[in-house]
Copies of this chain bind each other. A is one copy, B any other.
Amino acid sequence: MEGIREKKKRETRKAIMQAAVQLFSEKGFEKTSIEELAKMAGIGKGTVYSYFQTKSDILHAFCEDELDSLHHELTTNANQDIPLLEQMVSLYMSEFHHITENREFARIFMQQTAFPRDVDLKHLQHEDSYLKLLFPLLERAQAKGELRKDLDLLYITGHFYGLYLLLLSGWFRGRVQKEEAEVALEALFRQALEGLHPQSLIS
């Protein structure tokens, strides 16, 4: 049976997350102080740090929850009968729209995900869930003859992810507007599939 402690811990953690989402959305991540957040969650400042190690960890936890639910949604909704290009574009565009919903959240999350201070197991876990989602799609595409079979699946997923990273970065730097994103990503993915070499070079 669940003791008082476990219950309280769950509730406190939830209260922190709720306060965080509200305040970060309202005032932005940087402008929200931990003390303020703790007050809204009805706890002392120090307590926050027994649930999360750093301020950005709070935001990170939220983002991972979101991404997890997004991944779950994608897995169940995936339509495997459309061409790979469309599948990938739609998949990454879902994530793109999700993540660009709130620039502040996305920035901190991507900064720490793509260029973390330390090598971290959490990142690898997240990556694995990613790969579990993509591999079946790619294997099926290979089976359907849409994808070369002599390539490492890891490199293929990496290839798409790299181009997605480029798109995200382009949006952050103001190079790509939200409305252009899908066209740009599709063009990049098409390039990846068809190759940059002229056909004549492929022996």
Chain A residues close to B by CB (< 8 Å): 106-107, 110-111, 114-117, 119-120, 123-124, 127, 145-149, 151-152, 155-156, 158-159, 161-170, 172-175, 184, 187-188, 191-202
Number of copies: 2
Neighbouring B residues of A120 by C-beta, 8 Å: 173
Complex CA gap A156/B115 in Å reads: 24
Apart from A115-B169, A195-B197: 9 A-B pairs, beta carbons within 8 A: A116-B172, A145-B198, A145-B201, A148-B196, A158-B166, A162-B165, A191-B192, A193-B196, A195-B196
Complex CA gap A200/B192 in Å reads: 16
**Nearest Cβ on chain B to A169's Cβ, whole angstroms:** 4
Please tell me if the beta carbons of B194 and A197 are within 8 angstroms of each other in the complex: yes
Neighbouring B residues of A114 by C-beta, 8 Å: 110-111, 114-115, 165, 169, 172-173
Chain B: CB-nearest residue to A30: B117
Please tell me if the beta carbons of B165 and A119 are within 8 angstroms of each other in the complex: no
